[in-house]
Structure 1
Amino acid sequence: MARRMVIIGGGAAGIGAAGAAKAAAPSAEVIVYTAFEDVGYSPCGIPYVHGKEIPDFTSLFLAEKQAYADAGIDVRYETTVLGFDPESRTVQVEGEGPSGYDALIIATGFDYKPPGVPGEDLGGLYYVKNIRRAMEWDKILDNVRHAVVVEASPLGLEMVTALAHRGIDTHVIDPHPWALGELCDPDIVAPVQESWAEMGVTTHWDTRLLGFTGDREGHVRTVATTDGELPAELVVVATHKVANNALAVAAGLRTGSTGGLVVDDHMRTSAPHVWAAGDVCEIPHGVGGLPLQGLTGSHAYAQGKVAGTNAAGGERAYQPVYVPWGMVAGTWMIGGAALGEVAATALGVPHVVGKATGISRARYFPGVRPVTVKLLAEPRTLRLIGAQMVGGEGIKERADFLALAVRKGITLHDLASMENVYSPPIGALNEPIVTAAQAGVST
């Protein structure tokens, strides 16, 4: 009899798991349950459609629905899973009787942390997640004059920029002293904040949300904060991502300090025959083992591949993460890998810093932009433990490389003498990573 595999969730982790399961066990029956109308699209692209950098939402779909059917993946759309029982190996679906499984993968993703203030049930509060809702909100944006973004998280940065591109009077409020306060160093994010000011964005740092007030129709009209009251016909709630773990918790699965499901390197949960992947679980950081939850789509997809392969009887392991990250915000690219200076200090991790500003291409080539690189290393060994960067281009590639460098134990000495590409359109004579490493070696 064919192995019956059930996946709850149709995001990057769920679809990655489904594809990997079919590859590892082509005869397996693979069923994906999703509460939404679609699977296999990029929610990360939604802010860029809102900002008009991407022309339409159809570009965000990875494949037509028929492609999943042709691949032997049975996707059950707009279907609510009520629960599952690891002991009997059954799943309870709304409107159906219990259904058995041989292997179960939990890929239920994340929810935004509720604002927890009066008025959070008003209309006009936008949680960027589902593409069909985003299509509806995009039409509304044409008539919005004033918007508030709650918290300068990664999504918050993208949406602030998108709203400014739409010509909307935009305010951002955040309880930290600067944007990405728990992830990014203030000197790295400062150019982004300066560019926002040039775009007409008003920022409110060290500011707490107090509540929302609405009109007679129940639609938000103002946002109350510790820095005063702000007008708004639209509020983007970009609070911290929390694990959507209700089904798993009800089934008795173990969660960690982040609220994410605890998994091993094969993405197995605490329950037999149950795996998990994506934002619903927590993964150890490669530097110090700190558990992390709510990473990126690439992490979710890779975890799904591991979970799907192993659930189907294959063999694949997932490593601790060093979290290369990057984004476009304002008129800049920012990014990094592993630990920044603020995070390292908060965790009590000793470090030395090497920092330098270079250029993205030859000084005489059109479009040249500055690139600032900050490297963190262990004081004695000078082994790299993190990096952060801001520039006009080339941040993603440097972040990917530096995350691998941290993973492999590369030192500032190694980076200070590394070779680099010199080509006027794409690389300057002096690579900023090299210059930053040299500054760190000399400290």
Structure 2
Amino acid sequence: MARTIVIIGGSAAGMGAAGAAQQVDPDVHVIIYTELADVGYSPCGIPYVHGKEIDSFDRLILQGKEFYADRGFDIHYETVVSGIDTKRHTIDVPGEGSVGYDQLVIATGFKYEQPKVPGSDLGNLYYVRDIRAAQRWDKILDSVHHAVIADAQPIGVEMATALAHRGIETHLVDPHPWPMAEITDPDIMEPVEESWRELGVHLHLNTRIDAFLGTERVQAVRTSNGDIAVDMVVVGTKKLPNNDLAAAAGVKCGSTGGLIVDEHMRTSVPDVFAAGDCVEVPQGTTGVPVQGLSGSHAYAQGKIAGSGAAGTLRSYSPVYVPWGLVAGKWMVGGVSFGETLAGALGIPYVKGVAEGISRARYYPGFKKIRVKLLAEPGTLKLIGAQLVGGEGIKERCDFLAMAARKGLTLHDIAWMENVYSPAMGALAEPMALAAQNGLTAVQS
């Protein structure tokens, strides 16, 4: 008899698990439960549709529902799983009763941290996640003149840029001295702040939100520096693991609130795997658990979980967390630690910083790039990086994450080979320049 794998969640981790399970065992019966009306779309693209860089939400849907039906996936849309009985190997689904499984994959994703201020239950507070809700909100945006972004976490940063592109008077309110202050450094975000001001974004940093004001809908935001009249608020708070269901079933959570998994994405409960924003995984340099990473991490974790659930254990390595996004007119990105985070964790480092360009200076359209590398004192092994520039950030972050994973040093990066083509890359690679400056600083 074919095994039954139940997957709770239909985003990147859940659909990655479904595909991997079927690849390992073509006869497996895959049942997917999702609270949403769609699976397999890209929520990361929503801000770019709102900002009109992408012309349609349809482009965010990777495959139609018929595709998954033809593959034999039994998907239950807009269906809530109310409980898990790990001893009986069943889940509880209102309207369907108990559904049995041989293996279970929990891919319940994240929930936004709720603002703990009066008025958080008012209408016109927008949480960016569900594509159907985003389509409704996109129509509302046509009549919005004034908006507040509550918190400059990554989604808030992307939405501030999107609303500015939309021509909406946008106020970004955050309690920290610079945007994304918990993961970025001020020198990296400084050009972003300048470009936001050029786009007309009003920055309210070192500013606390005290209340959302209104009757049925939010009409103003009360801050520690005064009230801001608004038509809507985008809540850009932290992503928290959505683990109430799993925790109630006795699956162990870790220090971040994410589910504890081993390298095979197995949880503390036999025959239960987990992946995506609901789990925590070790950071490669420190071993410290981290949670709430990117869609690429979630998809890769889902592939490991689905493969294991179908009978073939594969391993997921500790992460070095390459990340990047568009903020204002710039791209920003990094790997593991910047100076701010390393300092907060008490991690010693030496650094090398350089300003470079993305193409030959005489080639039209070259962009500036600032690269900061952090290395371990003594060994000079790369432990982190932060970058800001007009292009080429993603590729460099990918490379630097692999460099950290493989133990490359500032010496290795300083004298790396690089492509020189006027239209594609400058003679002097900015990463190499940063590493050379780091070596000079150490030797002086």
TM-score range, shorter chain: over 0.9
Q: CA deviation at 1:116?
A: 1.1
Task: Give 1:369 shift.
Answer: 1.1
What is the CA–CA distance in structure 1 between the aligned matches of 2:355 and 2:429, rounded to whole Å?
10
| Matched letter for residue 360 of structure 1 | S
Query: For residue 371 of structure 2, what is the aligned residue in structure 1?
Result: 373
Question: What is the CA–CA distance in structure 1 between the aligned matches of 2:365 and 2:274, rounded to whole Å?
Answer: 44
Q: Tell me if 1:180 matches 2:177.
A: no
Which residue pairs with 2:310 in the alignment?
312
| Deviation of the 1:426 alpha carbon | 1.1
- 2:242 corresponds in structure 1 to 244
> Is residue 2:437 matched to residue 1:439?
yes
Cα distance in structure 2, aligned partners of 1:97 and 1:40? 26
Residues in 1 aligned to 2:328 and 2:192: alpha-carbon distance in whole angstroms: 5
Tell me the distance in 2 between the aligned counterparts of 1:97 and 1:392. Answer: 53
Q: Any idea what SS the aligned residue of 1:67 has?
A: helix
Alpha-carbon distance in structure 2 between the residues aligned to 1:414 and 1:227: 49
Structure-2 separation of matches of 1:99 and 1:167: 49
Could you tell me how far 1:69 is from its partner in structure 2? 1.1
Map of 1:83 onto structure 2: 83
Shift of 1:71: 1.2
Amino acid at match of 2:160: V
Runs ≥4 residues deviating over 6 A: none
> Counterpart in 1 of 2:161?
161
Which residue of structure 2 lines up, in the alignment, with residue 61 of structure 1?
61
C-alpha distance in 2, partners of 1:11/1:241?
15
Partner-residue secondary structure (3-state), 2:416: coil
* Whole-angstrom CA distance in 1 between matches of 2:238 and 2:161: 19
Q: How far apart, in 2, do the equivalents of 1:273 and 1:171 lie?
A: 47
Aligned partner of 1:128: which letter?
Answer: V
1:142-157 matches, within 5 Å, as 142-157=142-157
1:125 lines up with 2:125 in the alignment: yes
Q: Which residue of 2 aligns with 1:220?
A: 218
State the alpha-carbon separation in 2 of the partners of residues 367 and 229 from structure 1. Answer: 42
Say which SS state the counterpart of residue 117 (structure 2) adopts.
Answer: coil
Say whether the 8 Å CA contact 1:415–1:434 is kept in structure 2: yes
**Structure 2 residue identity aligned to 1:407:** R
TM (norm. structure 1) is: 0.99
Question: Which residue of the other structure, out of 416, 419, 422, is the alignment partner of 1:421?
Answer: 419
Contact 1:22 1:72 (8 Å CA) reproduced: no
| Residues 1:357 and 2:355 aligned together | yes
C-alpha distance in 1 between matches for 2:440 and 2:317? 33
Pick the aligned partner of 2:343 from 345, 353, 376: 345
> What is the aligned partner in structure 1 of residue 209 from structure 2?
209
* Contact preservation (8 Å) 1:353, 1:440: yes
Corresponding position of 1:192: 192
1:277-296 Cα offsets, whole Å, 9 max, x none, are: 00011111111011111111
Partners of 1:315 and 1:100 lie apart in 2 by 22
Q: How many equivalent pairs are there?
A: 441
Return the alpha-carbon distance in structure 2 between the equivalents of residues 262 and 226 of structure 1.
38
Q: Which amino acid aligns with 1:8?
A: I
**Contact 1:35/1:80 (<8 A) preserved:** yes
- Aligned counterpart in structure 2 of residue 278 of structure 1, from 276, 279, 282: 276
Deviations 1:131-185 (A, max 9, x none): 0000000000010010000111111110000000011000011111101101111
* Cα distance in 2, alignment partners of residues 37 and 58 from structure 1: 14
Q: Is the 8 A contact 1:51 1:166 kept in 2?
A: yes
Deviations 1:333-382 (Å, cap 9, x if unpaired)? 11011111111111111100100001110001111111010000011111
Which residues of structure 1 form unaligned runs of 5+?
Answer: none
Offset of residue 315 of structure 1: 2.1
Distance (whole Å) between structure 2 residues aligned to residue 71 and residue 287 of structure 1: 40
Q: Is the 8 A contact 1:378 1:384 kept in 2?
A: yes
Spell out, residue by residue over 1:95-133, the C-alpha distance to the aligned partner (whole angstroms, 9 max, x if none): 122111000000000000000111011000000000000
SS of 1:184's equivalent? Answer: coil
In the TM superposition, what whole-angstrom CA distance separates every residue of 1:386-437 from its partner, at most 9, and x where no partner exists?
1100000000000000000001000000011111111011100110001000
Rounded to whole Å, the distance in 2 between the matches of 1:407 and 1:341 is 19
| Local SS of the residue matching 1:139 | helix
Match of 1:70 in 2: 70
Q: Which amino acid in the other structure matches residue 4 of structure 1? A: T
**1:16-35 paired onto structure 2 within 5 Å:** 16-35=16-35
- Tell me whether 1:404 sits opposite 2:402 in the alignment: yes
Distance in 1 between the 2:84 and 2:48 partners?
37
Q: Give the aligned CA root-mean-square deviation in angstroms.
A: 0.6
For 2:59 and 2:94, how far apart are their aligned partners in 1?
Answer: 32
CA contact (8 A) 1:338 1:406 kept: no
**Which structure 2 residues correspond to residues 93-108 of structure 1 after superposition, within 5 A?**
93-108=93-108
CA distance in structure 1 between the aligned counterparts of 2:50 and 2:160, rounded to whole angstroms = 11
Cα displacement string for residues 43-85 of structure 1 (whole angstroms, at most 9, x for unaligned residues): 0000000000000000000101011111111111111100111
2:263 aligned residue (262, 265, 270): 265
Distance across 2 between alignment mates of 1:206 and 1:308: 44
Partner letter of residue 76 of structure 1?
H
The SS at the match of 2:277 is helix
Sequence identity (%): 62
Match of 1:442, SS state, is helix
Q: In structure 2, the residue corresponding to 1:45 is in which secondary structure? A: helix
Does the CA-based 8 Å contact 1:174-1:205 persist in structure 2?
yes
Mapping of 1:39-50 within 5 angstroms? Answer: 39-50=39-50
Distance 1:337 1:119 in 2: 37
The DSSP-based 3-state class of the residue aligned with 2:97 is: coil
Structure 2 residues without counterparts, runs of 5 or longer:
none
| Aligned residue type for 2:46 | I
